[in-house]
Structure 1
Amino acid sequence: MRKVILSVILITILILTLFSTFILSDQPVPTELITFDTGDTAWMIVATALVLIMTPGLGFFYGGMVGKKNVISTMLQSFMAMIIVTVLWVLIGFGLSFGPSIGGLIGDPRPYLLFQGVGTNTAWSLAPTIPFMLFALFQAKFAIITPALITGAFAERIRFWAYLLFMVLFIIFVYAPLCHMTWHPEGLFFKMGVLDFAGGTVVHMSAGWAALAGAMFLGKRNGQKSNPARITYVLLGTGLLWFGWFGFNSGSALGASGIAVQALGTTTVAAAAAGMAWVFFDKILGHKVSAMGACIGTVVGLVAITPAAGFVSIPSAIFIGVFSSIVSNFVVRIFHKGKIDDALDVFACHGVGGMTGMLLTGVFASKAVNSAVTDQGLIFGETTLFLNQLTALVMVSIFAFSMSYFLFFIVNKITPLRVSEDREILGLDISQHGEFL
């Protein structure tokens, strides 16, 4: 049955792309071409590539943390996100996210189906200096890494095909609506005045709450938890993530501008401050300074600064990094004592880090940093922005968790989510892929 379904999917894609090609060939060639800013275009091409490299970096980051018999499977889950989500984004994902607004909740996918109308001669309204297709491809990389982030929560126990199905449904029913509401000019949160520079709600909160839902639905792993297979992979993954995050945050300025430089600066110092705070906090609590701790803390800082990167000052970014690191460290310790097996602490790091960053954006956002800030943060004596951030946080949390849990339930009805006990003990590398280190 699975072979039949996969064959139908491939044949359908071939037919759709052929049909789309005939339609495109009948469209008139533009006689007047828009002149784009070459500096902005060059930077955004680089930024798009930087964001993509984050997903293999995440594969190393997660792959080094799991047991040796699950490294390939864990890394492949990230790699497959690059493959599946790219195709899905071109087919329908971009339209659902950035198509004409339907009630401020979701986009109409029809105008941009199979990237029809997404060319190099037009521009997105909020990115007028770069080609529309470049904007669409840049946004694709955000969609790619979001479901990959979730995989750390249910590592070492999920069936591969069930994961692929969940990933597709998550992009359509969770990621796309949040992306539209946050970043489309007619989106619900955008019109509320919610600030999310590069994905605090869209990427990290959605992934964090979905991770918690997945960890709860699948239950604990069987037997003793394995020692990390390759801490050197974790270090390498952290380096790639930090490197790619400059495209993630600075690229969200959508041009080579002063705001892009500001985002570069805040991203740099927040990551460093958070990594420092994590290892210092560990030492205060009587633990050794560990490579894992330094890496996790650094990533938490990157997560937390994401929604604020282009809106806050350098000192504020340092505060965000230190504060978010301590909060996430505390939550990790609580979860390790509880009954929920979030294998790689996705909720504590990405979910909590994203929420902390969203709220602190409402505290520190400044007109002096970015003139697009109409309502400043609490520290400047204004409350509107903070209340908007808090409202969005609650709404996104409820939506992302409940919808993700429902999707796990639906997928489990279609095909079992969890591998059998004997296959889990054998390891997913062998039982799911027939490969081993």
Structure 2
Amino acid sequence: MIHLSTEITPDQIRRYENELSERKDASVLERAVKKNGILATAQDDIANVNMTPIFSIDLDTGHVANQKQSGRCWMFAALNTMRHAMKDTFNLPGDFELSQNYTYFWDKFEKANYFYENVINTADKPLDDRKVAFLMETPQQDGGQWDMICAIIEKYGVVPQSAMPETFNSSASGQINSLLNLKLRKDAVEFRELVANKASRAEIDEMKDRKLQEVYRILSYSFGEPVTKFDFEYRDSNKEYHIDRGLTPKTFYDKYVKWDLSQYVSIINAPTDDKEYNKTYTVEMLGNVVGGREVKHLNVSMEDFKQMAIAQLQAGQSVWFGCDVGQSSDRKNGIMDTKVYAKDELFDVDFSMSKAERLDYGESLMTHAMVLTGVDLVDGKPTKWKVENSWGDKVGDKGYFVMSDAWMDEYCYQVVVNKNFMPENLQKAQEQEPKMLQPWDPMGALA
């Protein structure tokens, strides 16, 4: 059926004007919103009262890291969960951190190769093909997912921040991202031309090798060349001196982190019609390390989602999680609560959508990763959660946020748990071969 368009008429506008003029509070609200903005006017202070930072389970995780002007939250959150365990095992000082710059270098390098492979594999498609357009929109970026940091660590290991400190470009990634995306798009032109001219795979690989050498040089100038051998020297929280000489990134990981990353799996809650619960999913063209660990999600109910996170916290281990941090969130006070802003009341408009509707219609997806370090249980049920962010200690409660359980229900999409904390039926479900989702599926969003 063809629907003819209908223009807005002067009569409609007059009706809208009359409706607004009949509202007794319209002038007051207009002045308040114009002067203070929407969020400040709609803010409900009751959220501050209800979200007091007191928790029945509260892990001591020390200093809050700061990703600064970069999109490495997923990387910071993962390395933070690992350093939390190291802090307890080796009595490390509270400000100890693993090098985010080291894993950042290798992620950028591997993402370049991943992009090249996707360009080569789609080179027979026209530029206006949706998958080709998707690739060219953002050849690479800072964001990632849990399985992607695992792929980096499994291949390259980790190092303490003292062995490869932050640089200007790792802490403020705008310039390096612009330059890399320019280079990758230019290289895409050449790869597509090579494929169109029936080049052999050997010829394509020869050019790819030259391109990767250039990427390595760009990254080395920007972040420093990755450390290959180093000494780990520190004073513990009792001021006792320690030094461990001649370590490599792999031997450091094996000795000090010691996690079997195959045991840590991604759990999602995506209540959309296209994703059954207790089924696994992956996303086409999502990843970083060619030949490395692939992204794999197990979709579960929110009740199961939370119970596994609680079980891991009860065992004394923090939990990596992904959410849509910009929704109903007060950054300054460190509060994430569905009641923090009463926008419906302010405008007398129903803004409510279900979680599934927000995912299906592009209103929400995972935008940020943080760490659960506590939960408040009342009669065995969670009421609020303690969150370690990576925005430094000037926001929230020295960098920590409080998240209401209702907010978790609506805006949390992913947690990472050790299989030991999964019920047996979900462990079996996680072993299934995953269904492939389209590259633009919301569960492919990068934190």
TM-score (norm 1): 0.26
TM-score (norm 2): 0.26
Q: More relative contact order in 1 or in 2 (CA 8 Å, sep 6+)?
A: 2
Determine which structure has more spread, i.e. the larger CA radius of gyration.
Answer: 2
* Higher helix residue share: 1
